[in-house]
Amino acid sequence: MNVLEYLAVLLQTGLGSLAAYLAAHVLLCLLPAFFIAGALSALFPKEAVTKYLGRDAPKWISYPASALGGFVLAVCSCTIMPLFASIYKKGAGLGPAITFLFVGPAINILAITFTGVQIGMDIALARITLSIVFGIGIGLLMAWFFRREEEARSQAAGNGRAFSHGASVPARTWVFFALLLAVLIAGTLQVGLLTDSYATFTLPSTWAGGFQSWLDTVVPPNPSLGIEGVSVHGMLLIGLLVLIGVAAWLGLNKVDEGVNGWTFAALGLISLTLVVASFKVVAVDNGPSTSSGQGLNVGITGKLIAEIVLIAAVWWMAIRHFGAYEVQDWLWEMWRFVKQIIPLLLVGVFLAGAARSIIPATWIETLAGRNTVWANLIGVLFGVFMYFPTLVEVPIAQTFLSLGMHRGPLLAYLLADPELSLQSILITNSVIGRKKTAVYVVLVTIFSTLSGLVFGWFVK
């Protein structure tokens, strides 16, 4: 194969996975997840969690609080380091601080939903459960190893005033979170009640069938490599996403100063896109002779009804029960996450897709095709030395999976990648010192390898 053809293949698989990804995964999973992350960041008072992390808190409260606190506190990576440092220096001490550092990146809402939809609910659940259990375990071990220094330090530490402010979360905020979460779950949960069509109709169109076969030649589906094709429905959704991008840029960049027409256009388009994505659409082509046999077969799914009701409820609550500034703040945070994460994610998905046609499947199979200690260790080491920005580890993992990686080592990789990159090791080092960091890194390596191995025994 000459170089040009080779490049063309790379470009095609890269673009193909990008298009399939945008049409299939981003919408019902990532769109609501960004709104939830924004709401956690803007509407959830951080003091509601940090009050449990002060130095007076008993162990059985401070460890679970720092493990679960990652869910609400760590939605932005820039908040992790100051919190980690202050829990360590002024708060409950080394143990809970380490627990927070370990669990935080794995437990955020974007990472969980994205892993669940793209790789599988089993891995997503294992990722949460194991990181909480091991996070607390590693924290307790660290506190025990360095118990002498800890005692000396807690006497020298300053006051814990930063932790004494308490705050409670108002009921309307809980209800609002529940609604947003329901939008996410209704769109992504694969159960018959939601995915079945209760009524179908056919939109007559003469071009749909032809357009679909053209799409199949441009982006050929290749199940053996895990490459999905793109449907007519998918192209429509990609078009809507582009429109959302334009409207959001004009309407959300300065939304904390005030809303404008574009803000409503963007929000309207987002709602519309979620609804359109919930239809089940199949292009049918029964041959050119019968004009009635051609068109788009549209199914009204349970998901569709659920999404319409829930999105309407979210709009109603945001307008009726929250102040204008709270809503603006929420939207600003949401859009900030999008701007921070989406560009990296698109590049990551493209490269991970293109990589599928470069990396020979036999390599992955030989290195990590079976669930062995060695394979799990390789998964962990790869996670440590390859630094991928937030969430990009997920498409990378999917590439490995389609190339024949065992789910055990895959989980080991997914656990280690966000927790333990060279960059985070350096920062940890500056806060807790070289010796403790070294022990932490060793513990994380051992525990991630173990959890991959144990998980691998349970799945075939």
Partner 1 sequence: MEIKILGGGCAKCERLEELTRKVVEELGVEATFAKVKDLDAIMAYDVMSTPALVIDEEVKSSGRLPRKEEIAEWIQAAQ
> Is there binding between residue 344 and partner 1 (CB under 8 A)?
no
Indicate whether 423 belongs to the interface with partner 1 (CB under 8 A).
Answer: no
- Per-position x/- string for 37-76, each x denoting binding to partner 1 as judged by CB under 8 A, each - no binding: -----x---xx--x----------------------x--x
86 binds partner 1 (CB under 8 A): yes
Which among 6-14, 28-36, 82-90, 348-356 is the span making contact with partner 1, rule CB under 8 A? 82-90
Alpha carbon distance, N-terminus to C-terminus of the chain: 37
Rg (CA), the chain: 24
Q: Determine the interface stretch with partner 1 among 77-85, 102-110, 144-152, 287-295 (rule: CB under 8 A).
A: 77-85
- Which of the residues 313 through 342 are near partner 1 (CB under 8 A)? 325, 329, 332, 336, 339-340
CA distance 249 to 253: 6
Nearest-approach distance from CB 388 to partner 1, in angstroms = 20
Q: Does 1 bind partner 1 (CB under 8 A)?
A: no
For partner 1, the closer of residues 42 and 401 by Cβ is 42
Based on CB atoms, which residue is closest to partner 1, 291 or 430?
430
Nearer to partner 1, 75 or 270 (CB): 75
Q: For residue 403, what are its two tokens?
A: 């190339």
The amino acid that residue 363 corresponds to is W
Q: How far apart are CA 393 and CA 78, in angstroms?
A: 18
Is 91 within 8 Å of 113 (Cβ atoms)? no
Question: Which CB atom, from 73 or from 318, has the smaller least distance to partner 1?
Answer: 73
Distance between CA atoms of residues 172 and 186, nearest Å: 21
Task: Give the nearer residue to partner 1 in terms of CB position, either 83 or 130.
Answer: 83
Is the CB of 78 or the CB of 178 nearer to partner 1? Answer: 78
> By rule CB under 8 A, what string of x and - marks binding of each residue 246-275 to partner 1?
----------xx------------------
State which of residues 9, 15, 48, 81 lies at the interface with partner 1 (CB under 8 A). 81
Place of tokens 């939008």: 183
Rounded distance, CA 359 to CA 347, Å? 18
**Minimum CB distance to partner 1, residue 323 (Å):** 10
Q: How many residues does the chain have?
A: 460
| β-bridge pairing 280-285 and 197-204 | unpaired
Give the Cα separation of 139 and 97 in Å (integer). 7
Token reading at 278:
């919930």
What does the alpha-carbon distance between residue 445 and residue 132 come to, in Å, rounded to a whole number? 15
With contacts defined by CB under 8 A, how many residues of the chain interact with partner 1?
Answer: 29
Q: How far apart are CA 389 and CA 176, in angstroms?
A: 29
- Taking the least distance from each CB to partner 1, the nearer of 254 and 280 is 254
| CA quadruple 331, 337, 340, 346: dihedral sign | negative
Strands 197-204 and 294-301: antiparallel
286 vs 430, which CB is nearer to partner 1?
430
Residues that bind partner 1 (CB under 8 A): 42, 46-47, 50, 73, 76, 78-79, 81-83, 85-86, 89-90, 159, 161-163, 256-257, 325, 329, 332, 336, 339-340, 430-431
